[in-house]
Structure 1
Amino acid sequence: MRILLAEDDLPLAEALTTLLTTAGYAVDYVHDGLSAMDLALAETFDLVILDLNLPGLDGLGVLRAIRARRNQAAVMILTARGASEDRVKGLDLGADDYVTKPFDVAEFEARVRSLLRRQAGLRAATIQLGPLTFDLVARQFRVGAEAIDLPARELALLELLVTRAGRVVTRDAIVQSLTTIDDELSGNAIEQYISRLRRRLSPLGLNLRTARGLGYFIEKPREGP
């Protein structure tokens, strides 16, 4: 999942970027409104986190521009402005959530997960594929009671494949979801991640297939008789 963070408080921006990247998200962050608008309209993001008091163009102006282009990314407003009229204006312009500073980190993470689940069209708290369970709240894979520990990028890739099980995920979609504008993810690197995940899934009876020239998909297990 890819997130754009627009925050002019540098220490806070760095702390949130570290928090989100540690959780396995690809995060681009900018410190002014014009950069936020340009990047949001040029790239594809699952979630945009906007401070309202951005220099150059405020967060509401960025939000207005995003929605005017029918950009469907989820938008969280993160601001010290907690007045009712500010909340109403932000939500009326198309924000999906409104979080005021200071905020509880655990609640912030939960709100991010909730918005990303909603963005992916997922309503249940878990996804079950054969013996593999993905807890969308904890972002944790399990087989029975045993948790599967994965490096951040493998976790993000498996999450992408599992949430779209039965559908082909293109290489472009993988790159778009797993990287920032400063990252590179070669075809060979993707193949290596796919190979590692395939070795993990095969003993569980789950097939990670290659759709030649298109991408990859996890074959949904057949339902019982």
Structure 2
Amino acid sequence: MRVLLVEDEREMAAWLERALAQSGFVPDHAHDAQTAEHLLSMSEYDAVIMDLRLPDKHGLVLLREMRNRGDITPVLILTAQGALQDRVRGLNLGADDFLSKPFALEELEARLAALVRRSRGRLVPQMHCGSLVYDSESRAFSLDGAILHLTPREHAALAALITRSGAPMDKAQLFSRVFDHDSDTSPDAIEVVLHRLRKKLAGSDVRIVTVRGLGYMLESLSVDP
């Protein structure tokens, strides 16, 4: 999935580019509206992530110009907390979704995937690992048919692991999916989250294993027919 990130804050942009790439997206970065317009004219994108406070042009002006020339690429706008006026104007100009800063990476990815599915008319996909099911539209996990109740960090960790079910994810990558990019939390805190998850998965056909030198992996103990 190719995504254009329009964000002038360098630290935020670098973190998002790195995190999106690790999650399987192919991100291009534009630090201002002029660069975004150039990239949009040269390539096709599945979605655009757009900050509104750009150095050369307001994001809503860029959005309006996109829609005026017939560009229907789904646009997710990043807004300040509680910026109702921006949301209303954005909807009127053709924005597809909004996400308030600060935000969780997991929510950004889920919203992006939902935007692209809607634009392509696709059915809502589900991810499976044994009896564990993740519905990426409702963002709910179920285990043996029952809803699995998770804290936000447990949810973020399990969502990251199920997207790579059967393949290991290294510790630093998993940490970046669970904790905020500016968090002062020790990387070892991910062990606490995984310990709690293992307890909630205990007794089922799904487990989280440590792969020495490679990280952590979600695997199913059941044998497919």
**TM-score (norm. length: structure 2):** 0.59
Structure 1, unaligned runs of 5 or more: 7-32
Q: Deviations over 1:165-223 (max 9, x none)?
A: 00101011112222333103424311111111111112112121101122100113444
CA distance 1:111–1:154, shift in 2 (3 Å): closer
Equivalent of 2:50, from 66, 73, 77? 77
Please give the root-mean-square deviation of Cα atoms over the aligned residues, in Å. Answer: 4.4
Q: Secondary structure at the match of 2:134?
A: strand
Measure how far apart 1:73 and its partner are. Answer: 10
**Percent of aligned pairs with the same amino acid:** 24
Is the Cα contact below 8 Å between 1:201 and 1:207 reproduced in 2? yes
Structure 1 residue aligned with 2:157: 157
Is the Cα contact below 8 Å between 1:130 and 1:221 reproduced in 2? yes
- Alpha-carbon distance in 2 for matches of 1:201, 1:113: 23
Of structures 1 and 2, the one scoring higher in RCO (CA 8 A, sep 6+) is: 1
Is the Cα contact below 8 Å between 2:132 and 2:141 reproduced in 1? yes
- Alpha-carbon distance in 1 for matches of 2:33, 2:204: 46
User: Match of 1:97, as an amino acid?
Assistant: P
CA distance 1:207–1:77, shift in 2 (3 Å): same
Structure 2, unaligned runs of 5 or more: 52-58, 78-86, 100-106
1:38-53 counterparts in 2 under 5 A? 39-41=12-14, 44-46=18-20
- Alpha-carbon distance in 1 for matches of 2:76, 2:47: 14
Q: Secondary structure at the match of 1:80?
A: helix
**TM-score (norm. length: structure 1):** 0.59
Q: How many residue pairs align between the two structures?
A: 178
Structure 2 residue aligned with 1:87: 67
CA distance 1:75–1:180, shift in 2 (3 Å): farther
